[in-house]
Structure 1
Amino acid sequence: MPSGALTEQVAAWLQRLAVERQASPHTIAAYRRDLDKLLGWAAERGLGQAADFDTEQMRSFVAQQHRAGLAPRSLQRLLSSCRSLFRDLRRQGELAHDPLAGVRGPKVRAKLPEVLDTDEAATLVEVPGDDALARRDRAMLELFYSSGLRLSELTGLRWEALDLTAGEVRVEGKGRKVRILPVGRFAVAALRAHAADRPMQPTDPVFPGRGGRPISPRAVQLRLANLAIRSGFPRHVHPHMLRHSFASHVLESSGDLRAVQELLGHADIATTQIYTHLDFQHLAKVYDAAHPRARRKPTAG
């Protein structure tokens, strides 16, 4: 394959993502899946490098993926991956133009995250029982909801990252960005009770799984689903619902979008703004139920 060919350009960019931006393996794998579509399409048309692309070709690429059944949300993610590649190649001096200038994907209807209300969240995290497993689960869910952690941040947590006296936890999020988060008093109490069950070292995982290794994300998913069923929840509950609920409840009470962005570790406040839609939904329900000119007329019996 000649030097500068598209395959090599993609591989070099993914390497820069891993080394310079310290992107996670999951992020790099997602980019690779998207760009494999671009590589396959380009190979069929004899396009050897990014400089061979123009706007009409990229419109044709998007249309072909759409006809192949790619959903609007997936198309938008594919376009985002291609834009990131082209932007980097322009910085590297390997591309003089933007092949995606003016190219837009189909509109995506925003999918609002599922959240628990405050009573549901309290029911879920107050795990019943007085054995070591119940204390671990209680500490795990209380911390999850108290501090709005990502699942990967929760499972990878070590005791040295917790300061229970100060009520703080130090986590390393996406892009290895570190943030210090508050830990609520119920979570602190649950973590103290969990810590008392076994001798621990600062580098030990807070929530160990088999063999003393950190509990796996899949184990947390299964455990949470099981606890929700035991608590009588009528719907499936997944770990990210606790992070979404944390964000929604803090925003609902404070109205401080910027603070919620910092707590969640979002690089872009636009990512956080989806929770304002959830807050509006709640306000709209209150309005519909309370305002005399909004209430629906009772149906005739």
Structure 2
Amino acid sequence: MCKNIFSHFLEALRRLNRSPKTIESYERDLFAFLRFYRGEFMAEEVESALHQPRQFLDDFQGWQAVSVESIQAFVASRMEAGIHPRTLSRNLSALRSFYQFLIEHELAFANPAKSVKAPKQPKPLPKSLDIDLTQQLLDQPLNTWQDIRDQAMFECLYSAGLRVSELADLDLSPGLDQLNDGWIRVIGKGQKERISPLGRKAIDALRHWLSLRSDYAKADEQAVFVNRFGDRIGIRSIQQHLDKRTLEAGLPTKMSPHRLRHACATHVLESSGDLRAVQDLLGHANLSTTQIYTKLDLQHLAKVYDTAHPRAKKRGQNKQTIE
């Protein structure tokens, strides 16, 4: 293998107009891997390489011998060290890119990093929308029939914590069969049916919309919410109308149907501390999903627990001395 291969790789990245930040990151990533790979049997050399990382990478001639297992061990060690999955994904991207370069120059025959998967990155949760901003969004003038329909849709998303797909799929029957009792029936993930509670304002908004719906829906359309053609409204259209309402309300943040669902769960949890009830409200099969989804405040949980559990030890109280 020729000398200074790593420097040639960096030059190739520059010719591809990769940003200086990306090139710098790739150098750090490959250096971190090589330190790990050689550290067990060449500790002194690795220690001295800390002052000359580029030379350390250029001098290494054993890239062809690196195995898939070595890269898997590297990823495992980084995970144990608490490295974020996003960083691990970039580490692997650097290794894959470098080995692709080696293959193209006939300096390696295979890409050992290609089959190694990075750990799944946790999905970022939407920032919770406070109650004042939620009210600001929902308390807007209703000037057109679309405004009345949108008001009913957004009230349902927030009041019942619906998924946007559940809202779009909502039918007149059996969806609204129990509306007078304050419930709607939806089909959730896995075609699981559940009934969800509605607050007074959501019920009023729905009734207002239903009083107009027949003027705009096709005669055979069963969807509760319809578009301007009289057909079932789509998820993308719901988002577009929410964007419009957000702009009209002057909210300093981007909104999404999922954020309204999240706001519902957060506000109920903050007021009640009842995680199991929130699980039922959201239609989660596992309580662990609800805990992740709501970013449960452990201090709030501790407060609720101390207040509610009959055998809870009150925090902050002085320990009694047994004599």
TM-score (normalised: structure 1): 0.57
Separation in 1 of the partners of 2:196 and 2:208?
A: 20
Deviation (angstroms), 1:167: 1.0
Give the match for residue 114 of structure 1.
Answer: 127
Give the match for residue 145 of structure 1.
Answer: 158
Q: Retained in 2: the 8 A contact 1:127–1:137?
A: no
Separation in 2 of the partners of 1:150 and 1:185?
A: 20
Give the match for residue 193 of structure 1.
Answer: 208
SS in 2 for 1:211: coil
Q: Structure 1 residues 114 and 178, CA, compared in 2 at 3 Å: closer, same or farther?
A: same
Amino acid at match of 2:186: V
Matching of residue 135 in structure 1 with residue 153 in structure 2: no
Q: Structure 1 residues 265 and 204, CA, compared in 2 at 3 Å: closer, same or farther?
A: same
SS in 2 for 1:208: coil
Separation in 1 of the partners of 2:200 and 2:220?
A: 21
Give the match for residue 280 of structure 2.
Answer: 262
Separation in 2 of the partners of 1:109 and 1:183?
A: 31
Q: Retained in 2: the 8 A contact 1:170–1:181?
A: yes
Q: Structure 1 residues 202 and 276, CA, compared in 2 at 3 Å: closer, same or farther?
A: same
Note the aligned Cα RMSD (angstroms).
3.4
Q: Retained in 1: the 8 A contact 2:278–2:290?
A: yes
Q: Retained in 1: the 8 A contact 2:152–2:206?
A: yes
Separation in 2 of the partners of 1:139 and 1:212?
A: 16
Separation in 1 of the partners of 2:294 and 2:254?
A: 24
- Pick one of 174, 177, 181 that aligns with 2:196: 181
**Post-superposition CA distance 1:14-63 (Å, at most 9, x none):** xxxxxxxxxxxxxxxxxxxxxxxxxxxxxxxxxxxxxxxxx959948x89
Give the match for residue 206 of structure 1.
Answer: 224
Task: Provide structure 1 residue ranges, at least 5 long, that are not aligned to the other structure.
Answer: 1-54, 64-70, 77-102, 284-301
SS in 1 for 2:261: helix
Amino acid at match of 1:169: I
Separation in 2 of the partners of 1:175 and 1:251?
A: 25
Separation in 2 of the partners of 1:75 and 1:206?
A: 46
SS in 1 for 2:281: helix
SS in 1 for 2:213: coil
Q: Retained in 2: the 8 A contact 1:248–1:275?
A: no
Give the match for residue 269 of structure 2.
Answer: 251
Q: Structure 1 residues 236 and 212, CA, compared in 2 at 3 Å: closer, same or farther?
A: same
Aligned residues: 197
Deviation (angstroms), 1:113: 2.5
Q: Retained in 1: the 8 A contact 2:157–2:260?
A: yes
Separation in 2 of the partners of 1:276 and 1:133?
A: 31
Q: Structure 1 residues 135 and 74, CA, compared in 2 at 3 Å: closer, same or farther?
A: farther
Separation in 2 of the partners of 1:280 and 1:175?
A: 31
Matching of residue 272 in structure 1 with residue 290 in structure 2: yes
Give the match for residue 287 of structure 1.
Answer: none
Q: Map of 1:1-301 to 2, 5 A cutoff?
A: 56=69, 59=72, 72=85, 105-106=118-119, 108=121, 111-160=124-173, 161-162=175-176, 163-199=178-214, 204-277=222-295, 279=297
From the CA coordinates, give the structure whose radius of gyration is larger: 2
**Post-superposition CA distance 1:213-238 (Å, at most 9, x none):** 21111111111111111111111111
Separation in 1 of the partners of 2:87 and 2:179?
A: 42
Percent of aligned positions with the same letter in both sequences?
Answer: 48
